[in-house]
Amino acid sequence: MTGPEALAGDEQVLQAFRVIDERLAAGGPRQVLDLLRGRLIGELLGDSRRVAAALTRDFSLVTHAGGSTTTLAGRDMVDGITRQGDAGVMLWTELDHLVADSSTVGGDGLLHTYQPDPGSVTSLPFAFFIRYAEGLMASEAVYLDVAATVTTPVPEGSRPSVDRIRGFLDA
């Protein structure tokens, strides 16, 4: 895993997509991995349509963080992605592990959030489990280690660019 000092580099931002592409090349379950890839692109670029296209109508996200648990409906998550994109916020994952079968995906690593003003990346360890039904994501549980959160300033010349990242992803 890359240290916090290198969080904003394009290679680090794209790391999860390389992991997914490696699983696909090795014969991993195409449908669930393609949906995961599309959703992660949507979250990174602030494209709520991509995120919504991966979710069932009754999708729910359960987040366990710092001793509290919250549940968010898929439509509310999609609205949040819209607001993120409008504000120039980028959300991406850096995966240490990724496992998938035809109905479940799980993994762990770091979750990164880039804030353009003041130019910083907040990173924290996370683990996730996504259950699929009817060919879409039906539910997700996320565990965040908020006590290990690190915020790193990102100098102007090394900030991530949505347009540059979109070009790398052919999105």
E strands within the chain? 55-65, 68-73, 90-100, 104-115, 120-133, 136-144, 150-153
> Is residue 6 scored above 60 in pLDDT?
no
| Per-residue pLDDT at 171 | 53
pLDDT in tens, 25-84: 999 999 999 999 999 999 999 999 999 999 999 999 999 998 999 999 999 999 999 999
| Per-residue pLDDT at 117 | 87
> Is residue 149 scored above 80 in pLDDT?
yes
d(CA 93, CA 124): 10
Neighbours of 66 (CB within 10 A): 10
Domains of the chain, CATH where assigned: 4-155 (3.10.450.50)
- Beta-strand relationship, 55-65 and 68-73: antiparallel
Is the distance from CB of 94 to CB of 15 less than 8 angstroms?
yes
| Per-residue pLDDT at 7 | 38
